[in-house]
Amino acid sequence: MARTPRNTLSAELIVRTALELMEANGTDAFSVRGVAAELGVGPMALYTYFRNKDDLYDAVRDHLMGLLPDVPPDVPWPDQVRAVCRSLRLLMLEHPCLAQLLAGRPLSGHETARVAEGLLGVLRAAGFAPETAARTHTTLFTYVLGSTSWEIQMAAERRDPEAWRRLRASMESLSARDFPSVVELAPELARTTGGDEQFDYGLDLLLAGLRTPS
């Protein structure tokens, strides 16, 4: 038996390989066995380094979060907030699997904490009270998560011609009598399923609210 040598594997190597496969074939097609095969190893070998599939997901997520830049210093705090939110969105767009990795599991991990620390630090330095800072952090995070997940989902749909055709068809079958606004605004709605402008529009709404004394 040509057994693979002893220490070919490592948590880091597995995470890198898992990430590559997710990007290549999509998160849904990702499987433990796929990673093992890619590494030329039996499926169970990975369980030496991860308790289960979710544990591997968490590790991949934290690996990706490590790619986020630090908060830019020496700019007004609203610009810092914008920068953090934008860079998280960009990272998600660059690594679409991150959307599902963030949405499906609780936050944990060193790099994830680093990112939270950055945003919370900005808000605290801007003078927000503890509770308001926490609320704002969660609001911003869930906005970025929701809007960017949606954007990614829509982009994926558009790439699948069959699904996209069906979606158009179901849109066009709507009666203009029953759904006047949807029918009238269909082109605009299609345009708002993603893009920097749409993201910044919502982000600026939130920031405008933050500066309005409540």
Partner DNA sequence: CACCGTACTATACACTGTACGTTAGAGGAG
Partner DNA sequence: CTCCTCTAACGTACAGTGTATAGTACGGTG
- The span from the CA of 203 to the CA of 148, in Å, is 12
Q: Which does 206 bind (CB under 5 to 8 A by kind): DNA, a second copy, none?
A: a second copy
Check: CB of residue 140 under 8 Å from CB of residue 93.
Answer: no
Q: Does 162 bind a second copy (CB under 8 A)?
A: no
167 contacts a second copy (rule: CB under 8 A) = yes
9 vs 58, beta carbon nearer a second copy: 58
44 versus 125: smaller Cβ distance to DNA: 44
**Contact (Cβ atoms closer than 8 angstroms) between residue 136 and residue 210:** yes
Site pattern 94..123 for a second copy (x: CB under 8 A): ---------xxxx-xx---xx-xx--xx--
Q: How far is the CB of 176 from a second copy (least distance, A)?
A: 11
Nearest residue (CB) to a second copy, 94 versus 201: 201
Q: Decide if 80 contacts 71 (C-beta within 8 A).
A: yes
**What is the residue whose two structure tokens read 């995070």?**
141
**Residue with Cβ nearer a second copy (20 or 204):** 204
Whose structure tokens read 């590559």?
20
Question: Of residues 42, 67, 191, 196, which one binds a second copy by CB under 8 A?
Answer: 191
Alpha helices in 95-160 (DSSP H): 97-103, 110-125, 130-159
Give the HSE-up count for residue 192: Cα atoms under 13 Å, Cβ half-sphere.
Answer: 10
Q: Which stretch binds a second copy (CB under 8 A): 63-71, 73-81, 82-90, 147-155?
A: 147-155
